[in-house]
A = this chain, B = another copy of it.
Amino acid sequence: MAKFRLDEVDHQILDILIDNTRTPFTDIAKKLQISAGTVHVRVKKMEEAGIITGSSLSIDYKKLGYAFIAYVGVFLQKTSQTKFVLERINEIPFVTVAHVTTGKFNIFCKIRAKDTEHAKQIIFELDDIEGVYRTETMISLEESLNDKKRLMHSIFKEL
């Protein structure tokens, strides 16, 4: 892949869109004192370069009755089973993300559930996967997301 360099204008466009993907390009143009056409071209280039990979809604799952978050560490009988188990894990919709990790666990995943009873079912499902030796669960009592803007600003400072 061709190396793609973002300049200050790109940074500011991302900075605005990361908080609201539907911000009109004309608004961005006004703020940055450039033309809307330029904003359009810049965004398209970042999409083509694969830096912007898409856009997504932020949903409040708590309001939908899914307030329970836990992390589950998975121990495997053999690490050679990693791929197989990972595939099985990804079939469970309530597992939102899974990682192959070094350290204590072989696989490490995050689950989103209605309540403890529901979480129990999900964890039992994980435990039941062939090759899983045992699991260890950490229940989230409080989640605090860091602002995406802060990370971006720090990244931009170094680019």
Binding site for B on A (CB under 8 A): 1, 4, 6, 14, 17-22, 49-61, 63-66, 69, 71, 86, 90, 93-105, 108, 112, 114, 136-146, 148, 150-155, 158-159
Contacts and interface: CB of A to CB of B under 8 A. Distances in A.
Contact of A93 (B114, B137, B142, B154): B154
A12 to B, nearest CB: 13
B55 A104 contact: no
Nearest to A98: B144
Contacts of A22: 21-22, 55
A58 B152 CA distance: 12
B99 A71 contact: yes
A104 B151 CA distance: 28
B108 A71 contact: yes
Contacts of A20: 54-55
Contacts of A141: 99-102
25 contacts: A1-B63, A6-B64, A14-B57, A18-B59, A20-B54, A20-B55, A21-B55, A22-B22, A50-B60, A51-B63, A52-B59, A56-B58, A66-B155, A71-B99, A86-B144, A94-B154, A96-B151, A98-B144, A98-B146, A101-B139, A102-B141, A103-B137, A104-B136, A105-B138, A114-B158
Contacts of A6: 64
A86 B49 CA distance: 36
